[in-house]
Every structure is written in structure tokens, then in C-alpha cells.
Amino acid sequence: MHFDAAFVPLDPRQGNHYADGILYFLKNVDCNVIFPMHYWNDANVIKRFITEYPQYKSRIKNTECAKGEEL
């Protein structure tokens, strides 16, 4: 199955398991672009994920926009 885009949880409230869902999705689903969600306005969790799993960097989009930027 292929998806062009998906919104997948990346939830820092789950502690060390914050990335379990998105990792499962990345390993099992063919998807071009993934937008993290449910990170509770903590954009650092997206940066943390990309740092810990650089092999997925090209597929993960940071949904946080700076003032004046558009997604």
C-alpha cells in the first residue's frame, strides 16, 4: 500500500516510547511524506526524532512554522 502523505503521532508524553508509532509506520508503510502530530507544541521532539533516526529525515516534515512562514 502506498500513501503520498500521512499524519502520524510523535508523542513526547510517552517518554522513551515517543516514537514507537511513527517508527512502526515508517518501517511498514510506503509513504512519501510524513507530518508528525500530537507533539504538544514541542517542536524539539521532531528535531530529536530526526537526530536519532537520520535515515528518515527526507520523509519527515517539520510542521512547526516560524512567524511569517507558511506550511
Domain borders along the chain are 3-64
The answer to whether 63 and 49 are in contact (CB under 8 A) is no
Q: State residue 47's pLDDT score.
A: 92
Encode pLDDT of 28-68 as tens digits: 999 999 999 999 888 899 999 999 999 999 999 987 765 66
Q: State residue 43's pLDDT score.
A: 86
- Asked if the model's pLDDT at residue 7 lies above 60, the reply is yes
CA–CA distance from 6 to each of 9, 16, 17, 29, 35 (Å)? 10, 23, 20, 10, 6
* Residue 30 bridge partners (DSSP): 2
Total-model pTM = 0.84
